[in-house]
Structure 1
Amino acid sequence: MQKKFSNRIRQYLCIALLSVPFLLQGCSPSSLTDASDTAIQGDVSIEQANALLTKGKKREAAQTYYAAAARYPSPQRERVILQAAEIAASIGDVNLTNSYLAKTPVSALDGENRGRLAYVKALLALQQNNPTLALRTLPTNLDSLSPALREKVKHVQQRAQAMAGGAAAQTIQQAIVPTSVNRIAALLPQSGSLGGVSQEIYRGIEAARNNLASDASVRMYDVNASGALTQYQRAVADGADIIVGPLDKESLAQLLTQPQILTKPLLSLNYLTNSRNIPGALYQFGLLPEDEARQVAEFASARGQRTAIIMAPASSWGERLANAFHTAYQAKGGQVINIQQYPDNPSNAYMQNVQNAMAATQGRASMVFLAASPSQARLMRPLLAAQAPGVPVYATSHIFSGRIDPGKDADLDGIIYTEIPWVIEALQAGSLNNSAFPRMYALGMDAFLIAKNLPSIARNPNTQVNGKTGSIRLARNREIQRKLLMATFINGVPQALGQ
């Protein structure tokens, strides 16, 4: 009965896809002949959705699919919701698409539906004229997808590549550069889910000001998603030379809806990579995980390691890191010979993932790139060491919690990973555990350093500043780029590589 049920869902959704030229890719009519003729609850609603889609009423069709989804158990329910999201994404309706995606958390999805979730996000990015984000979001392990979904992923990939290869995707307005910086405003939330992180960032800003014996003043402005514009204008009226923040993407997006009010430089603490028009006031800074993945690719390539396995969790974060590493590694002449997506929640299935990777590569891999959290890496590293003892494992700073715990982190010994200078400095000074979020503290210190020195940094593009989050330089699109230290674990404690 379960198989018949799944076939029935596949039949109706395939019919739906055949009705939309853009969504047609990979849906073969032969799959319709396999479906059971047994009637199931919900036929009428899905038939209505099919009819609406055939008539070109996509929004109504998406809403009907979503309504019909409630009649089915998992994983069919999520599959129908993702169909609704796919149609909403195809018409570029951000709010409608995201409302459906919110009902399909990654943890509730099986492998095929996780791939479909990534595809829908990429499709939406493409409809928003953001080919870079689309390419970064697409699933990387196509072998695990059904033929129909695989073809649709390839179709979006081709469109995104063509779009990215055309005229410049972004218009970058002439930079607003302050003549001097004496008053700094910090737009940070003082409460809510980001309240604790923001306090640590502000502590870092204050520490940098004190360490530099600077005469610059810093004032905090409490900001949330609905108040970013008001607080920015208030800070400018109070005489701020530069505004640091906001931290969350929603507040930053709100500011960019009215670029004409951005009369003073804005050093954001996050990135909006889908911005087509970069205002002259905007400088973007943050702890971008893709930067670290690219650095690992370059470092391993320079060591002559040219065949890689990627192991990443089945999550949007895992997809981002895997894509960033893959692209950078190929650019350096490397070849990714296997990609393994493992369960996002720590699982006993990790052994099977590792064994699958080793069996598929048959000893040809010269390195492993591991995208992982601390708990995931502690489980994965011993398995990799047992299955392929001579193959080096690389990772990003996300494998280290920022809290010294040799008992747990001994399992990470030997991993080579990217780390910010401040973590190594604080560890050597014995003060690392004094900070709840050491990397956010370092972000605050460097935010002040960049803000205070922006007049010289902005006018001299080749300037590199040795910061606490890495070696800092300003890219042509006014994004702050970082180069981190390479570190490893010895007896469960991080140490700069080569020391």
Structure 2
Amino acid sequence: MTIQDLRYSLSVGLMSGMFMLQGCSLSSNLLNTSTTSNSTYSSENRATSSFRGRPSVELGNQLFKQGRKPEAAEVYYQAALGLPSPQRERVILQAAEVSASLGDEKTTQRYLKNIPRQALGGENQARYRYTLALLALQNDQATQALRLLPSLSSNLSAGLRSKIALVRQRALEMGGSLPAQQSTTQGIPPELQPQPETNQHPVQAQTILPRAVERLAALLPDAGALGPVGKEIYQGMQDQGSQFGTVTTSTQYATTAATVLSQYQQAVSDGADIILGPLDKEALDVLLASNTLTVPVLSLNYTTEGQSSPALYQFGLSPEDEARQVASFTTSRGLRQALVLVPDSQWGNRLAEAFTAAYQAAGGQVVSSVAYPNSTSKDYLTTLQAALANSSGAQIVFLGASPTQARLMKPLLQAQAPELPVYATSHVFSGRLEKTKDADLEGIIYTEIPFVLQSLQQGRLDTLKYPRLYALGMDAVTIAKSLPALTQNQRLQGHTGEISLSANRLIQRRLVMATFKDGLPTILE
């Protein structure tokens, strides 16, 4: 990636859908708030713009999705003037962030100067510093960006932590440096400098990884809807553990949200070196809320936004990881104009947001993003035709879909726009051999875990009901055994992909790129 690439609207994608999707920190009743006068802010700062309609967060979202970012920023700013604090400051920061992503220093500073310093509490303070860092980066001031960035505190939302980490990565790639002896708060007003975290539980602060991992405890469901899933994951754990010999043992503790605390304590009492799980997000949130983690946990899901612990390492089959990989793969090949098609669901929104963020950060442009209804093929066709009509210049289609949805959508795309290559995540393949049905997926390029492709080549894919979850269990053991020595610069060749550890203790995966030929997945050549 070139320095020029790094300067393309670095964080706009990371904000895409912020108010409409899960990253929103504003309540939904803000969406139709119109502007009224407010004596706190000077009317001379209300710039004239060409948008039509009363300023509102909803209108700003619409303009943003249309690619009219300067107008979107101004609409956010104007809409903010009629809101009470702290929502007002939060929306002004959104306006400033959009302007900063465009490298517009004058407009960004105009927005920021109208935020009273005393109103910058909590996460707004970190967003203020992040916006200044983003502006510096977009103006080729990589070292200044590193100085301005807030720390990756566990008190911040996951969305903001992700954006901070991305700007830090880009700044370092652009040659920015921050000598160890130099304070990261240089040039930052005292009231905006970070304060030490005070809510860290003393027991958590003392949690360290064992020198050797021999006894593993698996907090997994063994009954109910997730029972079969838990059993397949645990089978993967046992089979992988046997590769390390008799020195590695694992024990399953049947776990639900109601029993997770007692089962965790039992596993600790039994001498577990590392806890694997829980799988259920609700159970994980309950465990974290207890502030009693004395033994490290490698979860098999991801926490609710904002929750964390020094003892927690998070691992799972994240669809966002796959969407980001598709974005990186396509932009690196010069495919920088995308049509995004995802189902109209929370999962679809997450996928679109992750892809858009990474795609735009790498210099790509999403020319249109459409959520299609989960209904009939006739409705799919109507939605697709409208999407293609609004996607002039698109070079690829990023498709979020289940196997059933993909089998309907791909033939329609082939008929309507045969020149557009279709990229997707592993969710388009069921993990079962269904050549006749999957013939409709011909030509889709997608992310797949190595275990599925290897099992397919060896003729044993159909021996497992949930092959990807079985592989998750295998890799959980490998990661647990490697955690004491694993650093950000080390990578493991796992069954779910190439595995690395991020600075905030998230396990990240890089999958294999595959395609469908004659109804079967095969490694992309």
One-letter code of the match for 1:304?
G
**What 5-or-longer segments of structure 2 have no aligned partner?**
1-25, 36-57, 67-74, 81-89, 98-123, 130-149, 156-204
- Tell me how far 1:27 sits from its aligned partner: 4.8
| 1:225 is aligned to 2:252 | no
Q: Deviations over 1:436-474 (max 9, x none)?
A: 1000000000001111122111xx331100000000011
| 1:236 is aligned to 2:268 | yes
| 1:262 is aligned to 2:293 | yes
Alpha-carbon separation, structure 2, partners of 1:205 and 1:329? 35
Distance 1:191 1:158, change over 3 A: farther
Instruction: Look up the SS of the partner of 2:348 in the other structure.
Output: helix
Match of 1:463 among 472, 475, 490: 490
One-letter code of the match for 2:32?
G
One-letter code of the match for 2:446?
Y
| 1:283 is aligned to 2:313 | yes
Distance 1:405 1:139, change over 3 A: farther
Match of 2:32 among 10, 26, 35: 26
Paired residues of 2:207 and 2:295 also in contact (CA < 8 A): no
Alpha-carbon separation, structure 1, partners of 2:483 and 2:229? 24
| 1:385 is aligned to 2:414 | yes
Q: Deviations over 1:162-221 (max 9, x none)?
A: 664544463386862111111100000110111110000001001111234352111010
Instruction: Look up the SS of the partner of 1:208 in the other structure.
Output: helix
Alpha-carbon separation, structure 1, partners of 2:332 and 2:206? 36
Paired residues of 1:209 and 1:448 also in contact (CA < 8 A): yes
Alpha-carbon separation, structure 1, partners of 2:327 and 2:345? 20
Q: Deviations over 1:39-62 (max 9, x none)?
A: xxxxxxxxxxxxxxxxxxxxxxxx
Instruction: Look up the SS of the partner of 2:390 in the other structure.
Output: helix
Paired residues of 1:170 and 1:275 also in contact (CA < 8 A): no
Alpha-carbon separation, structure 1, partners of 2:397 and 2:27? 40
Partner of 2:142: none
| 1:200 is aligned to 2:232 | yes
Alpha-carbon separation, structure 2, partners of 1:422 and 1:227? 32
One-letter code of the match for 2:153?
Q
* Equivalent residue runs for 1:144-155 within 5 Å: none
**What 5-or-longer segments of structure 1 have no aligned partner?**
1-19, 30-118, 120-137, 144-150
- Tell me how far 1:22 sits from its aligned partner: 9.1
Alpha-carbon separation, structure 2, partners of 1:430 and 1:365? 38
Instruction: Look up the SS of the partner of 1:181 in the other structure.
Output: coil
RMSD over aligned Cα atoms: 3.2
Paired residues of 2:93 and 2:128 also in contact (CA < 8 A): no
Alpha-carbon separation, structure 2, partners of 1:425 and 1:355? 37
| 1:305 is aligned to 2:335 | yes
Paired residues of 1:367 and 1:394 also in contact (CA < 8 A): yes
One-letter code of the match for 2:326?
V
Alpha-carbon separation, structure 2, partners of 1:250 and 1:266? 15
Paired residues of 2:233 and 2:471 also in contact (CA < 8 A): yes
Alpha-carbon separation, structure 1, partners of 2:434 and 2:211? 46
Alpha-carbon separation, structure 2, partners of 1:320 and 1:454? 29
Instruction: Look up the SS of the partner of 1:341 in the other structure.
Output: strand
Partner of 1:330: 360
Partner of 2:500: 473
Partner of 2:208: 176
Paired residues of 1:141 and 1:340 also in contact (CA < 8 A): no
- Tell me how far 1:381 sits from its aligned partner: 0.4
* Equivalent residue runs for 1:95-244 within 5 Å: 164=127, 166=129, 167-168=150-151, 170-171=153-154, 176-244=208-276
| 1:396 is aligned to 2:425 | yes
Alpha-carbon separation, structure 2, partners of 1:338 and 1:463? 37
Partner of 2:83: none
Paired residues of 1:26 and 1:152 also in contact (CA < 8 A): no
Instruction: Look up the SS of the partner of 1:391 in the other structure.
Output: coil
Instruction: Look up the SS of the partner of 1:482 in the other structure.
Output: strand
Distance 1:193 1:152, change over 3 A: farther
Instruction: Look up the SS of the partner of 1:311 in the other structure.
Output: strand
One-letter code of the match for 2:511?
L
Distance 1:484 1:165, change over 3 A: farther
Aligned length: 367
| 1:405 is aligned to 2:405 | no
One-letter code of the match for 1:170?
S
Instruction: Look up the SS of the partner of 1:495 in the other structure.
Output: strand
